[in-house]
Amino acid sequence: MREYKIAVLPGDGIGPEVTREAVKVLERIAEMDSSFRFKTKNFNWNSEYYLEHGKMMPEDGLEQLKEFDAILFGAIGDPRVPDPVSIWELILPIRKNFQQFINFRPVKLLQGLESTLKKEVPIDFVIVRENSEGEYTESGGAMFHGETREMALQNMVMTRQGVEQIARFAYDYARANGREKVTNATKSNVMLHTMTFWDRLVEEVAAENKDIDYERYYIDALAAYFVQRPETFDVVLASNLFGDILSDLGSAIVGGLGLAPSGNINPLGEFPSMFEAVHGSAPDIAGKGIANPIAQIWSAALMLEHLGRKDLHDLVLQAIEEVLVEKKVLTPDIGGNATTADVGDAISDKLERIG
C-alpha cells in the first residue's frame, strides 16, 4: 500500500476551518481506495506560535517539512502580527528552500456557478506564475537624508534559469493537458531591462514549442482582456508580481476567493510542493463556521494530481461541481446558508456516491 506523508499547516483564522474540511475529503478518498493512504501530521506554526516563541517556526522547521511528500497550508495572518513577518519568516522560506518556483492557479468557472462578469462564456484557464524571483526580492534599500532627500530602491531579479524553467513548465503543462495556447504577460515596453529579457527567453522557449500557439500582451491590456474576453485564454504565463495580481483578478471573475485554489510546485519532486487556497485568514469571518472550504478542498485535489493521481483530482472536482449544481449546501459567500462543515460533508458524501 502506498502511503503519502502530508504535512498540514492549518495556520490562522479560517485556515484551520477550511483545512479541516480538505483533510476530511482526503480521508474519505483514502477510505474508498485501498491502494493508498494518507499519513498527516499537523504543525501549529501560526501567529499564536509566533506570539509565544518570537518566530514563525522552529530552527529546524524546514528540515522537518522536507520529509513529507507534500504540504497542505491553511492561511497565515493575524491583526496582532505584522504581515511581513508571516510572509518573510514562513511562506517565502518554504517556497524558496523547497524550490517551489511555480505558482499554479486554475481559473475555472465551475458548473453551477455564475461568473461575476454576468456573461455566459466558459472560463477555463490556468495562471502559471513565477514564484521565486522577479519583482519579489529582498534586494533594495531606503535612504533617509532628512525630509527632502528620501529615496527607496527595489531591485527586480530575473535569471535565465528562472525564466526558462517557468516558461518550459507552462509549455509542458499545456501539452500534457491538451491546452492550445500560451499567453505571455509582459511590460517590456516600459521595463527595458528585465521584461525585455523575460520576453526574449520566453520566446526562445516558444520557438521550441511551435505546436502550441503563443501570444504576448502588456499586463495592463491583459488585465482588461481578463474581464472582456476571459474565454480566450488557456495558459497564462506571468512573472511573480504580474501573476499575483492576475490571479486575484482571475479568482474574482469566477466567483471569488472562496473558490480559488493554488499550488506552489517543485516540479522535479526533490522537495515537497505546497498547496493552499488563494485567500487569507479572513479575520472578519473566522470562528463563525461560514468560510467556504471549496478553495482549500480544490487545493487538496491539486495536491492529489501532483502526487500522480489526476483521476482522484478529477473525482474531487466532479463532487464539488455536483454540490454546486444542486445549490442545496452552499456557504453564504455564494448565496447559501450552510456551514463550512456542511459543505465538507456534502462533498465527501458525493465522492462516495460517484467514486
Interface residue list for ligand ATP (CB under 6 A): 14, 18, 75, 77, 257-258, 279-285, 291-292, 295, 333
Neighbours of 289 (CB within 10 A): 14
Task: Output the smallest distance, CB 252 to ligand ATP, in A.
Answer: 10
Binding-site size for Mg ion (CB under 5 A) equals 1
Residue among 15 and 280 whose Cβ is closer to Mg ion: 280
230 binds, among ligand ATP, Mg ion, none (CB under 5 to 8 A by kind): none
Residue among 45 and 173 whose Cβ is closer to ligand ATP: 45
Residue among 244 and 333 whose Cβ is closer to ligand ATP: 333
Chain centroid offset of residue 118 CA: 25
Task: Output the smallest distance, CB 154 to ligand ATP, in A.
Answer: 21
For residues 324 and 111, the answer to whether their CB atoms sit within 8 Å is yes
Residue among 126 and 343 whose Cβ is closer to ligand ATP: 343
Task: Output the smallest distance, CB 85 to ligand ATP, in A.
Answer: 12
Residue among 187 and 279 whose Cβ is closer to ligand ATP: 279
Between the alpha carbon of residue 330 and those of residues 31, 204, 325, the distances in Å are 25, 46, 10
For residues 325 and 56, the answer to whether their CB atoms sit within 8 Å is no
Task: Output the smallest distance, CB 289 to Mg ion, in A.
Answer: 20
Between the alpha carbon of residue 349 and those of residues 48, 246, 311, 340, 352, the distances in Å are 34, 34, 18, 14, 5
**Spatial separation of the C-alpha atoms in residues 58 and 169, rounded to whole Å:** 33
From 148, 46, 35, select the one nearest 89 (Cα to Cα): 46
Task: Verify binding: residue 272, Mg ion, rule CB under 5 A.
Answer: no
C-alpha grid cell, residue 300? 487538496
Q: At what angle do helices 340-354 and 310-326 cross, to 10 degrees?
A: 120
Stretch near Mg ion under the rule CB under 5 A, chosen from 86-94, 274-282, 289-297, 335-343: 274-282
Closest residue by beta carbon to Mg ion: 280
Task: Verify binding: residue 162, Mg ion, rule CB under 5 A.
Answer: no
Task: Output the smallest distance, CB 94 to Mg ion, in A.
Answer: 18
Task: Verify binding: residue 258, Mg ion, rule CB under 5 A.
Answer: no
Which region holds residue 69: left if phi is over 0, alpha if psi is between -120 and 50, else beta?
alpha
Contacts (CB under 5 A) with Mg ion, residues 102-131: none
Residue among 78 and 342 whose Cβ is closer to Mg ion: 78
Residue among 194 and 340 whose Cβ is closer to ligand ATP: 340
**Spatial separation of the C-alpha atoms in residues 103 and 196, rounded to whole Å:** 22
258 binds, among Mg ion, ligand ATP, none (CB under 5 to 8 A by kind): ligand ATP
194 binds, among ligand ATP, Mg ion, none (CB under 5 to 8 A by kind): none
Task: Output the smallest distance, CB 22 to ligand ATP, in A.
Answer: 11
Residue among 85 and 157 whose Cβ is closer to ligand ATP: 85
Residue among 198 and 275 whose Cβ is closer to Mg ion: 275
> Which amino acid is it at 59?
E
Chain centroid offset of residue 297 CA: 12
From 233, 236, 185, 182, select the one nearest 212 (Cα to Cα): 182
Stretch near Mg ion under the rule CB under 5 A, chosen from 253-261, 272-280, 295-303, 306-314: 272-280
Task: Output the smallest distance, CB 95 to ligand ATP, in A.
Answer: 16
Torsions phi, psi for 334 (to 5 deg): -120, 30
C-alpha grid cell, residue 5? 506523508
Closest residue by beta carbon to ligand ATP: 280
75 binds, among ligand ATP, Mg ion, none (CB under 5 to 8 A by kind): ligand ATP
Mapping DSSP to helix (H, G, I), strand (E, B) and coil, where does residue 182 land?
A: strand
Q: What are the strands, taking DSSP E only, across the chain?
A: 2-11, 36-42, 70-75, 102-108, 124-130, 140-143, 151-154, 181-186, 213-218, 235-238, 261-265, 273-277
Q: Which of 16, 106, 162, 280 binds Mg ion (CB under 5 A)?
A: 280
The contact set with Mg ion (CB under 5 A) reads: 280
